[in-house]
Structure formats: structure tokens, C-alpha cells
């Protein structure tokens, strides 16, 4: 029989957790309870990257082998304390959820939300969308290219962004490729970041046509790495750092050290970069949150310790 629902107190909120023994990743036996436990433990690192960013969920109520769907709007049955923000678009307005507390994260994880996707922009305290504070380059390999080729291209992209005065960081997508992020200085947030990344992609494609492609046409990706500049569009979202992915087995979109990218580009086994929930938590214990620089300057007097996961 399924485990009985349990009611827990999280930050003073009563949450009713259901079907904790339901297997959501059949290949590994990873259950809904395991999903909740992972998100509970990773919350100190994850939540700052969700702050003030409207969240799109990927839900898989019957696990990764069943039906799944994206959800942008406030889920039905949400408690009144789940904060939302109304954002307008080409198809009208959407009441997006904001996930800024452990209680909110546990509530959505209990809905079998496996993936959390956010845009490269935030809303201010009044809910008004601000200029993009982040720039992202999504590196997607076309078979037979692999993560190894992504690492080679990532170093080229890194050098180009550094030459432009930016400070890129890398993370695993949790699927097949890599994503590079850079924080946009406040005095350089006007204009369309998609255009900047598109020009970069076209320049690298001209230099390395055997390895890089800038066009979205799938027929052109064979054996090459797509530099997807479109993820910077105001309408697009990218999987958040430390989010689970709805793959056959649970993997995490996990920040990397540049030394790891360089080693893989130099011939190290790319399988070493695969990141499970346990790996992500261990890496946080060892290195802290490698994506902390994306959060911007720390307030005066703020503690300088790296963000680390919650206790097991």
C-alpha cells in the first residue's frame, strides 16, 4: 500500500506530503521522498538562484516514464502564502509562481515538480520585469559529438566572453551538454543579450565550422555543437542550477570548475562529469556554490562563507 500522507512543519507552514514512496525514477528506484529530501538539502544553494525569477515547472506525476508537462501558472490548490507575480506576454498575462523559501520549494516538489526553469531576468519588489542580469550560452552536442566536444567549445566561448569583459562560469545541463553563464554588469544591461551571443556563435562557427554551429536547424548539428543563443530571449527559460532533470536516472544541472572542463577538453573521460543528487550535495560540501558570483555583490557586512547544503 502507498505510504500514508504526512503533515510536516516547514518554516511555520503546515505541508501535507503525499506518496513519498512513489518511484519517480524507475531505473534507480529514486522516489518522491528522495526528490523532496534532495531539494530540502540543496535549498540553501538553490533558492538564491530562484529569487525574484518567475519559475516554470516540469512536472512528472507518474515519474519520468509517464506523462510530463510544463506548468507556468500558479498550480491549482496552491496555498495563499505561495507568492506569485503577474507577467505579461504575447498571449496575455501569466500568474507565475516565485519559489523563494524552503516551504515553497517543498510544496512544489510534493507536486512531482522535478525540473525548475527560470529566465535570465528578475522582477523587482513591485513585480516589474527588469533587464536581464545574466547571459547564457547553451552548448548542445549533435551526435556523435558529446560532452567532450562541448568542453572544447566551452573554452573558446569562455575566452571570447573574458575578452569582452565578462566572467563566465560553466555548469552541466544535466542532460547532454553544458551551459555557460556570465553576470551582466549593471551599466551593460541595455540591449538584447541574444544578439551578442548570436554574433559570438556566428564568429566561432566561422572559425571552427567543423565543430560549431549557430543555426537552430537540427539537420546541421550532426557531429557539431550548437551554440544556442536563443536562451537569452525574454520569453525563454533555462534549467536552474542544482535542479534535477527528468532523465531516465536522476541527474542534476550542476556547476563545474573550469579545471574540470579543461581536463575533459584535453581527453579526460566526460563520464566523470555526470552529476547525481548525491554528487551535487558532495560537491557543495567540498567547493560551496561555484555559481555564487552570479548572485552579484554581497551586501556590506554579509558573511563570506560559501553556501553549503543542509544536513542529511
230 backbone dihedrals φ, ψ, rounded to 5°: -70, -15
**What's the pLDDT tens digit per position in 208-225?**
999 999 988 777 788 999
User: Residue 220 has what pLDDT?
Assistant: 74
CA angle 57, 62, 65 (to 5 degrees): 95
Collapsing DSSP to helix, strand or coil, 18 comes out as coil
User: Residue 296 has what pLDDT?
Assistant: 84
User: Residue 308 has what pLDDT?
Assistant: 56
Q: Residue written as cell 532523465?
A: 247
The model's pTM is 0.94
**Positions of the chain with pLDDT lower than 50, given as ranges:** 300-305
Tell me the H-state helices in 110-146. Answer: none
Collapsing DSSP to helix, strand or coil, 255 comes out as strand
- Work out whether the CA dihedral 106, 302, 84, 93 comes out positive or negative: negative
Amino acid at each position: 500500500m502507498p505510504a500514508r500522507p504526512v503533515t510536516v512543519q516547514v518554516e511555520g507552514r503546515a505541508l501535507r506530503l503525499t506518496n513519498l514512496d512513489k518511484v519517480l525514477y524507475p531505473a534507480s528506484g529514486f522516489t518522491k521522498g528522495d526528490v523532496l529530501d534532495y531539494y530540502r538539502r540543496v535549498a540553501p544553494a538553490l533558492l538564491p538562484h530562484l529569487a525574484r525569477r518567475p519559475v516554470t515547472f516540469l512536472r512528472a506525476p507518474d515519474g519520468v516514464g509517464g506523462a510530463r508537462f510544463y506548468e507556468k501558472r500558479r498550480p491549482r490548490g496552491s496555498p495563499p502564502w505561495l507568492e506569485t507575480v503577474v507577467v505579461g506576454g504575447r498571449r496575455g498575462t501569466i500568474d507565475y509562481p516565485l519559489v523563494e523559501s524552503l516551504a515553497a520549494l517543498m510544496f512544489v516538489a510534493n507536486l512531482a515538480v522535478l525540473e525548475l526553469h527560470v529566465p535570465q531576468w528578475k522582477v523587482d519588489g513591485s513585480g516589474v520585469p527588469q533587464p536581464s542580469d545574466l547571459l547564457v550560452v547553451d552548448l548542445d552536442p549533435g551526435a556523435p559529438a558529446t560532452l567532450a566536444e562541448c568542453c572544447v567549445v566551452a573554452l573558446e566561448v569562455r575566452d571570447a566572453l573574458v575578452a569582452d569583459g565578462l566572467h563566465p562560469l560553466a555548469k552541466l545541463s544535466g542532460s547532454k551538454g553544458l551551459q555557460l553563464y556570465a553576470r551582466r554588469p549593471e551599466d551593460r544591461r541595455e540591449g538584447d543579450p541574444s544578439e551578442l551571443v548570436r554574433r559570438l556563435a556566428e564568429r566561432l562557427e566561422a572559425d571552427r565550422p567543423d565543430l560549431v554551429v549557430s543555426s537552430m536547424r537540427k539537420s546541421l548539428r550532426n557531429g557539431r555543437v550548437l551554440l544556442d543563443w536563443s536562451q537569452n530571449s525574454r520569453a525563454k527559460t533555462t534549467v536552474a542550477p542544482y535542479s534535477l532533470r527528468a532523465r531516465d536516472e536522476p541527474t542534476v544541472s550542476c556547476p563545474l570548475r573550469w579545471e574540470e572542463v579543461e581536463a575533459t577538453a584535453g581527453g579526460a573521460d566526460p563520464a566523470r562529469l555526470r552529476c547525481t543528487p548525491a554528487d551535487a550535495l558532495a560537491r557543495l560540501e567540498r567547493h560551496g556554490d561555484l555559481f555564487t558570483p552570479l548572485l552579484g555583490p554581497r551586501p556590506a557586512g554579509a558573511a563570506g562563507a560559501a553556501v553549503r547544503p543542509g544536513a542529511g
